[in-house]
Structure 1
Amino acid sequence: MTILTQALHLKDLPPPPSDKTGWPWDLEINLLNQVVDPEQLPLITIVTPSYNQGQFLEETIRSILLQGYPNLEYIIIDGGSDDNTLEIIRQYEPFLAYWISEPDGGQSEALNKGFKRATGELIGWQNSDDTYAPHALWYAANAYLNNPAADVIYGEVHHIDEQDNFIKKYPVIEATVENMIPYSSVSNHSVFYHRKIFENQQWINSELKHCMDQEFHLRLLLKGYQFTYEPRIIGYWRIHEQAKSTRQLEVWSKEAFQLCKSLYQQSDLEPKIRQKAKDCLYGFCLDNFSKGRVENFHETVREIIQLFGLQGLTFSIMVKYLISLVGSENLSRLLALKNRWKNLPQNQ
């Protein structure tokens, strides 16, 4: 097991590819020793779940190792990649506390494997196609030391593209139960957990394929864990065609609907939270129709009937349900015609 007890520099790592420049390739960041007494720094563990993201993995690894943080444990759990992932991992093996590559049940299972091996006081999770901004670990440590009651520390998230160009900010807002639906108000890309969360047997729900971080954070809030915001922590969330978040919007929709349903069914929650959850259920139902997801739409209609009875169906949903009976292919054609008609110039 390798725990890094000294800050790493560019000269310590394998040289970057010749066509890569900037952070975290050939840019040496200023260390922030003056922010915190080095002897007080908590051990930080970062877990990276990985599967066939060799195109981006090296950048992820370097953005963690080059934080200049002198008390770091880094774990990579790979799901049996068959691209160049293992070649990259072996290049950086001397700096890893642990890594494994074997088939698994997906990202959630990989995360739990890593969290069970983590020994840090603070534990972060960064995906194999995403990165940290410089100093993120230092700012997390500083926030932890200044807020001893904090169980979860979270920061800002920026969307970037395949070439690391800034796209937009993710809308991070205060971590509350109400703000956790329909979209997560915080994102794993800039979150650090106190190890007691895992000692208390709070793990990622391995049945979820997309909303695992949203459900995890919602569960922690419902159980009373304290969240602390540190705006200087920035995680970069990469948007690209092969990203799971891009490919699995339908899966996300199903899982997010169930999260809202579970909140609505908790009768001890504030009425405004339950009302928002109810509104989100209807919102997901209508969104499924507008996106041409007939199977999802029918499923959410059935769920709404189970929850609220037939009287719970609005006139709009009933009309859309009748239209949806034409089938997915024909519905897609109708929606395309509708959009085309909407986009026609007014004088035509």
Structure 2
Amino acid sequence: MPDTLPDGSAWPKISIVTPSYNQAHFIEETIRAVLLQGYPDIEFIIIDGGSKDDTVEIIKKYEQFIAFWVSEKDKGQADAINKGFARATGQIFYWTNSDDWPEKNIFGIAAQRFNELPDVGVLFGNCYFIDENYEILKLRQGYDFNTGDLIELNPIEQNTVFFRSSVWENFGRIKESLHFIVDFELWLRWSLKGVKFKYCPEIFAYFRLHQSSKSTQLQITNIRESSNLVIELKNNGTIPAKYYPQITKLFYRLCFASYWTHDPKLFWSIFFQYIKFSHRPPGPKLLVRALFSLGGKPVMSLVSKLKPDKGQRNFTS
């Protein structure tokens, strides 16, 4: 890596926060991916929630290269990230979970883009989803967006995001009452405040899809939090009326996502919100699923087995 940026200025310090809890199988790969970036000025902070596995022993192997680490009980991922960035002193912030990792040399690319684009507050790129055997499952591609696009279909994969420390200081922290959509709430809050996001076409990171990241309960939590957040922001006037069409499209997607969880109570709560925003009767595809849901979880599960939804997938992806 060159000694300076192309314009001769110094490389900005990048502060990286990794929240962790009982991820001994994965965290070493994350640590090495950060430390082997070859970037000249990093501040690596690991906030572990009091892991009971070998996480602490793995961290200790690398502690001479880590600016700060702690292993203590916390209130979850959001609390850990907030704790980490409270200690950060860099000009650029980035967080990666302990089962994901950044692409090689991406820190240098991000720093150079920020230098070239002084009005941009947030950078994000593309991400490979992989399984536990490192097989690529899919490429999650981002794109440039407006706030309405973000509400309708979030194009940002969290572990690809770099942002200026000034954005965090002015518009952060993470909302600790949330569990699954902490990133979506943050991007939406920043976008509504006028922060400029910029998509980059490079691969920025890898997201590991494993058993603990695929549970139905996680999907249910995601759907509920997404629904509650948008309703709250609409009711308190944070989301302008011009974005209501995108809210309608979001709830249409959430109807199908909730149906796939085979939770009729969740489905109907989302369904009625969709009707409320759309001001029109549901289309035939959604109406059929509403009829099946009247039979409860057994009927919803049976129908899914007999005739799987072609579009069925995890809402998180």
Work out which of the two has the higher radius of gyration on C-alpha atoms and give 1 or 2: 1
Q: Which moved more, 1:292-301 or 1:52-61?
A: 292-301
Partner of 1:79: 49
| Percent identity between the two aligned chains | 36
Q: Is residue 143–residue 199 contact of structure 2 (8 Å, CA) maintained in 1?
A: no
TM-score normalised by structure 1 residue count: 0.79
SS at match of 1:46: strand
Q: Is residue 54–residue 88 contact of structure 1 (8 Å, CA) maintained in 2?
A: yes
User: How many correspondences in the alignment?
Assistant: 307
Q: 2:138 aligns with which of 168, 175, 191?
A: 168
Per-residue CA shift, 1:135-179, capped at 9, x if unaligned?
A: 111011101111122211222211122233332211211142122
Counterpart Cα distance in 2 of 1:233 and 1:337: 38
Counterpart Cα distance in 2 of 1:188 and 1:337: 35
1:134 aligns with 2:87: no
Q: Is residue 103–residue 206 contact of structure 2 (8 Å, CA) maintained in 1?
A: yes
When residues 165 and 216 of structure 1 are mapped into structure 2, their CA distance, relative to the original with a 3 A threshold, is same
Q: 2:91 aligns with which of 105, 118, 121?
A: 121
Q: CA deviation at 1:260?
A: 4.3
Q: CA deviation at 1:275?
A: 0.8
1:99 aligns with 2:69: yes
What pairs up with 1:261-276 in 2 under 5 angstroms?
Answer: 261=231, 266=237, 269=240, 271=242, 273-276=243-246
Q: CA deviation at 1:336?
A: 2.5
1:324 aligns with 2:297: no
Q: Which moved more, 1:126-135 or 1:321-330?
A: 321-330
User: Aligned Cα RMSD in Å?
Assistant: 2.7
Q: Provide runs of 4+ in structure 1 moved above 6 Å.
A: 244-247
Q: Which moved more, 1:244-253 or 1:221-230?
A: 244-253
Counterpart Cα distance in 1 of 2:130 and 2:288: 40
Q: Which moved more, 1:59-68 or 1:104-113?
A: 104-113
Q: CA deviation at 1:78?
A: 0.7
Q: Which moved more, 1:199-208 or 1:59-68?
A: 199-208
Counterpart Cα distance in 2 of 1:186 and 1:264: 22
Q: CA deviation at 1:232?
A: 3.4
1:314 aligns with 2:282: yes
When residues 261 and 171 of structure 1 are mapped into structure 2, their CA distance, relative to the original with a 3 A threshold, is farther
Letter in 1 for 2:79: E
Letter in 2 for 1:204: I
Partner of 1:151: 121
When residues 38 and 113 of structure 1 are mapped into structure 2, their CA distance, relative to the original with a 3 A threshold, is farther
TM-score normalised by structure 2 residue count: 0.86
When residues 177 and 51 of structure 1 are mapped into structure 2, their CA distance, relative to the original with a 3 A threshold, is same
Per-residue CA shift, 1:106-149, capped at 9, x if unaligned?
A: 11111111111111000001110111111111011101111122
Counterpart Cα distance in 1 of 2:79 and 2:250: 28
Q: 1:257 aligns with which of 221, 224, 227?
A: 227
Counterpart Cα distance in 2 of 1:45 and 1:38: 21
Q: Which moved more, 1:199-208 or 1:46-55?
A: 199-208
Q: Is residue 156–residue 232 contact of structure 1 (8 Å, CA) maintained in 2?
A: yes
